[in-house]
Structures are given as C-alpha cells and as structure tokens.
Structure 1
Amino acid sequence: MTAPLQEMLPLEDLKELPAVSPWCQRWRERKHSWRHVRDGGFDARNYSVDVIPDEEPAKTFVLTHHYSRSYPAVKVQLGLYQVVDGERRLCGVAVFGVPVSTAVLTKPLPELKPYTESLVCSRFVLLDECPGNSESWFLARCFEHLLARNVRGVVSFADPVPRRTASGALIMPGHVGTIYAATNAVYASRTTARTVKLLPDGTVFHERAAQKIRRQEQGHEYAEAQLIALGAPVPRAGCNPAVWLREALMAVGARNVRHRGAHRFVWRLGRNRREREQIKLGLPARRPYPKQADPEPNGI
C-alpha cells in the first residue's frame, strides 16, 4: 500500500475571537463591518423576506459580498428585501442547503430525514446598510418559510478562526455567533479539530476539492483551474494527480492553518414549544454559550 504524500506547507495557528459578542457582522464586497445590537433602528415595516426562486441573484449576491467567494449546494435560498418607495432591494441572503456529508445533519438531528426535513444554513449575509437587530428578524422569517416546507431542523456553524491573506491582511475576523445565541439555538459542542488549507487570498481550499483532484472525480477540473489561476502549473498528461496537487499547493503559496473546530448550533423548528422539544437531539445541549476564545497553545 502506497503511503500518503506529505504536504510540506507552512503551518499557522491564528488567535480565535470570542464566539459571542454584542457586535453584529455585516458585509459589502467581501469586506466586513460591525453593527452594535444597541444601535437598533430596524423597522420591520420596511423589509420583507421571500424565497429567491432562481439561483443566479442569490449566487451573485453571495459571491460579491461573502468572504468565502463560493456558493454551496442549495435547497432553499431566501432574500431580505428593503422596501423603498414601493421598490424592493435585495440586502441580505440566507442559503439553506446540502452539506458534504449527511453526518453533518444526522449526528445532531438523528430522527430527521437529511436534505428534506433537516438542512444546513451555509450562508447568512447581510449588507452593511442593514440596521442592528436585522439578523434575528430575518432568521425568524426564514424559519417560518422552512417550516412551511416541512423542514424541522437546521444546523449551522460559528467559525471563530480569522482568515488572513498571505500578506497578513485580515479578510474575515471570525464568526462571532451572536445571532445563534440571540435566537436560542442549541449549542451542540464543537466540530472535530482539523487542519485547513488557506490559499494566498485567504480563502479555504477545501479537502473535498483536494480529494476530487487526487481521485480525478467529477468536478476535479474546476478545483484544478482554481489553483492554475493562482499560478500552479497545468497538469501534464499522465502525471500523478496527488503529486501534482502537492506541487500546485506549494507553487501557489498555500498554508496549513490549525483549526480547533467550529462551534455547532442547532435549531429545532415547530409551531410551538412542544413540537420543537419533540425533535430528538443526537448531541447533548451545552450551556452556557461559548464566550471566550481558546487559549493560545504553548510555543505558538
């Protein structure tokens, strides 16, 4: 059996941010800003929430404003619209969809059918013009839409690890999780610690994309093109895909970053408290909500 190839990428360990704070994150053209919850100013009469039937408007909005520069597999996408002089303007998008593995849904929600009765909230983006407290109202309306479609559970994650470019510029200071605590989500502990690969622009090169290249699975061309666009050599005919991937990651200046695991949150949806509590949790509910970052490891 052939031993796996070792990737000699530089390793970083970045300081995490607190998982809960009174500041709400906003985005515009992949640059973050903040709104304090005490600022208020939200008036529901000026906003509406609707399903976005076509993928393109939601995808364009997310790719334009979200730091990840990617759009996940979607089941339901909903838009927050500001109503001005009778005209609606898209100012927020929530994406509920399909994770890479069914275990993302079945582990915390074992009795719900994944992809139909349970979904993952994979993108939740509001523009910087949205006033404080917009998130909780938008999310509540999203849950009403999902419940009408017989979705009974939603899983989401708060990532406290910042993202920086190779030059050190901060592009994502960390998902602080304020909206999850404010909407009484169940905190279901952290995901497994792992190492993630960051590209020079600070975006993550996901392990699933790497796996597609190594195994030459469907979609490997897109993943290869992502690295080639950053300066990796074009694969030669007959070359070992795993060897090419290792060399390509080194050529573009990718970095390994230690990640201690994202915070996992779960919502059980129902018309009343009894219906919500009838939905079984596969993971124990933790209290209190996480409020402090992990201490820096010795020697880092």
Structure 2
Amino acid sequence: MNGAPVMPSPGELRAMVAGDPRGYAQRWSFGVPSWRHASEGGFRRARYEVRIDEQTARLYVTSQHYLSGWPAAIQRFGMLDTEAEPGPDDQTVHGHVLVGAVVLASPMNERVLTVPFPGLAPYAESAELARLIVSPSVPANGETFLVSRALRLAAESGLRAAVSFADPMPRRRVTGEGVVIGSPGHLGIVYQALGARFTGRGTARSLCFLPDGSVLSARSKAKVTGRETGGGGVVRRLELLGARPLRPEEEPARWLAEILPAIGARAARHPGNLRYLLPAARTRAERSRTVFGMPSLPYPKWADDRRSI
C-alpha cells in the first residue's frame, strides 16, 4: 500500500462539513470512517481489476459501509487488488483481495429512473448506483477508477445510464465518547470528477435518524409493522442499538413508538440528496448519444450543515 489512511485535522473536518473536501476521500472499514488524500498519489490502475461479483459484494458492503442495509441489487461489481497478500479478515475473489464494490439497484420509486432517463427502460437500461465503497488500503482516486470500470461492464449487458445520490447532510453518531461526526456530508466529488450531470436535489422529506447516524426508512418501519419479510432484520438492527426485544404478542407499531425515543432516535427534515446522472457506455460514441431528461446545473460546492443530526 502506498501511504496510509490519515485523520484530517479538526479544522479540515469543519471545512468538510461546510462542503470543502480539502482533497480528502472518505473510506469505510467495518463502519468506521478514515480518509486518503489526493496529494499522496500512488494509485496504479494496473494493480486493480474490476469484475462482476455476485457472491461477495453483499457481505463486503453490509459489513463495511456506513449504510449497512442492502438495496434491491441489479448488478454488483467488486474491485480486486491483484498484488496484496490476503489477511485473515480479508474477503477474496479468485485469490485476490476484495477492496471495493459498486452496487447498481432498483430504487423504490420507478420515477427515480424514468424522469431523468425518459427514453430508457427502467431496471434494464437504467438503474441507481446505490452503493460505492473503497477500502482504506486503496490510494486516492480509486473511486473514479471503480465507478468508470463498473459502468463500462454494466454497459456490456445493456445498461445505458445510472443515477446516483450524494447525501450532503452531515451524519453524527452517538458513541461512548459522545457525539462524533460519522460522515461530514457528501457533495458527490467522485461524480463531479467523472463529469456526471448534476440536476439538483431529490425529494425533501422527514427522516428518522438512529444513534449510529443511519436512517430508519419508512419502508423499514412498514416491514416491522406489517410483519413482512425482512422485518426481523430491522428489529434486530434496532435491538443492537439498545431497543428492548419485540415480544411475539406485542403490537409492532406500539413497540416502535416506544423504543425509538428510548434509544435516541431523532426526526429531522432532510432537504433532499444531490442528484447526479452518469452515462454507461462502452465507447465515446455511445456516451455522446445518452439522452438526459433533466437540465444540467452548476456543481454544488457546499454541504448542508444540520447540527441536529
């Protein structure tokens, strides 16, 4: 590994919360953030390989990413370090260490795809880039390499465009040491570096933030209250955050109403994520033929400062 993860200074962290990334790329390892700086250099494309990965990407993403949930995946891609020696905690694919993943998924609402890509078949020719994660072991600039290669591979199976959202709202986690920044808020710098089209914000909404900085979505709540498949996983997630067990005879809605304030969940208004549109193409000609249904706007240069989160 060329260089190592670094910790930004308090002043640099404050600048990142305000929207100035200061050249840092945030990485995740078992839900814990770290940073690599662009000035270190050292990224060699020849060392890394990106391939379709149906087996290990889910475990890697759910164990490493700060958003531990798993989206409705359409395609999964893994980035392999072909030179690293596997360690006892590393996941491997064909003997190579898995150091990154991209997940293309189906959004909950089809309009997330049909509005920006009106001429493309949703879920087949368009998808949401729902997860992007790169290991702290990879030097800076690994994200752009992984995304561009993953979209090129996806284009070979018919994908023509992807939408991705960057959450500009800082996330704060409650730990034994107090409240710490879990994520300073994302501007989508990696998408800007790839030349993606910025089209404004997604829908503003009220969200339920859990003590670890993650969101308990309305869909997750519905799985619990409706006793649906997947509801048990949501219950276990809340129990790990300190909720008392849900008794078999208990009404799930009442249980949620009781335990959410008890574990420190907070409701807050979210102004909407930043929306980026990326073509998926095998050639420059294919890229130039991509038709977007939303106008391009200037790239955002600041993040939201919501100190209540």
Q: Give the alignment's TM-score, normalised by structure 2.
A: 0.82
Equivalent residues of 1:27, 1:33 under 8 A apart: yes
The alpha carbon displacement at 1:150 in A equals: 0.5
Q: Which blocks of at least 5 consecutive residues in structure 1 are unaligned? A: 1-14
Letter of the aligned partner of 2:149 in structure 1?
A: R
Is this contact kept in 1: 2:185–2:304, CA < 8 A? no
Assess if the C-alpha contact under 8 Å between 1:164 and 1:170 holds in 2: yes
- What's the CA shift for 1:296? 6.9
Which residue does 2:300 correspond to in 1?
Answer: 290
Query: How many residue pairs were aligned?
Result: 282
**AA of the residue aligned to 2:38:** V
Instruction: Tell me how far 1:153 sits from its aligned partner.
Output: 0.9
Conservation of the 8 A alpha-carbon contact between 1:107 and 1:283: yes
The structure, 1 or 2, with the larger RCO (C-alpha pairs under 8 Å, 6+ apart) is 1
For 2:172, which of 160, 164, 169 is the aligned residue? 164
| SS of match in other structure, 1:270 | coil
Question: What amino acid does structure 2 have at the position aligned with 1:267?
Answer: L
> In terms of mean alpha carbon deviation, does 265-274 or 100-109 score higher?
265-274
Change in CA separation of 1:293 and 1:174 when aligned onto 2, cut-off 3 Å: closer
Task: Give 2:253's aligned residue.
Answer: 242
Superposed CA deviations along residues 189-230 of structure 1, whole A, max 9, x for unmatched, are 101222211122222111111122334444333323333444
**What is the CA-CA distance between 1:20 and the residue it aligns to?**
6.2
What are the within-5 Å matches in structure 2 for residues 8-87 of structure 1?
17-18=18-19, 22-54=23-55, 57-84=56-83
Letter in 2 for 1:293: A
* Percent of paired sites with the same residue: 36
Q: Which residue of 2 aligns with 1:175?
A: 186
How much does 1:164 deviate?
Answer: 1.5
**Alignment correspondent of 1:144:** 152
The two structures, once aligned, show a CA RMSD in angstroms of 2.7
TM-superposed deviation, 1:239: 5.2
Q: Quick one: which amino acid aligns to residue 123 of structure 2?
A: Y
**What is the Cα deviation at residue 236 of structure 1?**
5.4
Quickly say closer, same or farther: Cα 1:232–1:26, change in 2 above 3 A: closer
Q: Which piece of structure 1 moves more, 210-219 or 178-187?
A: 210-219
Provide TM-score, normalisation by structure 1.
0.84
- Separation of aligned partners in 1, 2:20 and 2:160: 25
For residue 209 of structure 1, the aligned residue among 217, 220, 225 is 220
Distance 1:140 1:187 in 2: 17
Q: Which residue is equivalent to 2:286?
A: 275
Q: In 1, Cα distance between the equivalents of 2:212 and 2:46?
A: 39
Q: Is the 8 A contact 1:111 1:279 kept in 2?
A: no
2:63 is paired with a residue of what secondary structure? helix
Note the 1:89-238 alignment, pairs <5 A: 89-166=97-174, 167-235=178-246
